[in-house]
Amino acid sequence: MPREKILHKVRTALGRSSGQLPATPPPVRLRIPEVPLDARIESFTCALNKLNGKTCVAHSPQEALDYAAQLCEGKRVVASNSPVLRECGITGLPNVRSNYTDAEKLREACAAADVGITSADYALGDTGSLVMIASPREARLISLLPPVHLAIVPRSRILTGLDELFTLLPNPAEQTSSMVLITGPSRTADIEQILVRGVHGPREIHVVVL
């Protein structure tokens, strides 16, 4: 068995024996600065705009709906099963398909869609990132296959940064098989270091802070 052989080789190399506990690990380094909500929103939109993301701070669900309606006009749209979208009335828009529970059907819809709409579990103020946790409410491909991604994020969900995220979720694997941070539109600079957006993922990302 390669497993036993390799583990044995590792132990021999390290001078350790089977079942031996590790030494005390270095203390975890997580620091959460105190940043008021307004400043977190400001920082988030600033960071995302710098990456060519579009942001909008909505003061009511109606404003969020208006933004979505304008973006989606005449387009094929897939929305996630997030209650936030329903509450805003986005899933009620005529060209928006939602409520997918079958992977195959969802995949087909996403591959053909022009816009994907999701919520986000969290957002990170210092980097302008969205935190997408896969669940029955949020599928993976909606924020990935369509060329435009719109996310509606409740303002209370905007954290300061990575340290706060991993303080809230010390072990994300306990609640999901996939947590993805999205920081701006998909990009590449593989040819002559020239920046091109939308290589495999969405070329546009819009975030409405609600």
Compute how many other C-beta atoms are within 10 angstroms of the C-beta atom of residue 24.
6
Residue 98, C-beta contacts closer than 8 angstroms, at least 6 positions apart: 78, 79, 80, 81, 85, 91
Q: Note whether 148 binds other proteins by CB under 8 A.
A: no
Q: Note whether 10 binds other proteins by CB under 8 A.
A: yes
Q: Pick from 152, 179, 206, 208 the residue near other proteins by CB under 8 A.
A: 179
Q: Note whether 81 binds other proteins by CB under 8 A.
A: yes
What is the rounded CA–CA span in Å between residue 84 and residue 151?
10
Q: Pick from 96, 185, 208, 210 the residue near other proteins by CB under 8 A.
A: 185
Smaller CB distance to other proteins: residue 61 or 127? 127
Closest by Cα among 181, 191, 188 to 203 = 188
Q: How many residues bind other proteins (CB under 8 A)?
A: 80
Q: Pick from 6, 37, 92, 156 the residue near other proteins by CB under 8 A.
A: 6
The sign of the dihedral angle between the CA atoms of 147, 110, 72, 138 is: negative
- Within positions 149 to 168, which residues make up the interface with other proteins, using CB under 8 A? 161-163, 165-167
Q: Note whether 94 binds other proteins by CB under 8 A.
A: no
Amino acid letter, residue 185: P
Phi–psi pair at 169, nearest 5 degrees: -120, 80
Distance, first Cα to last Cα, the chain: 55
CB of 133 to other proteins, least distance (A): 9
Smaller CB distance to other proteins: residue 58 or 131? 131
- Within positions 55 to 74, which residues make up the interface with other proteins, using CB under 8 A? none
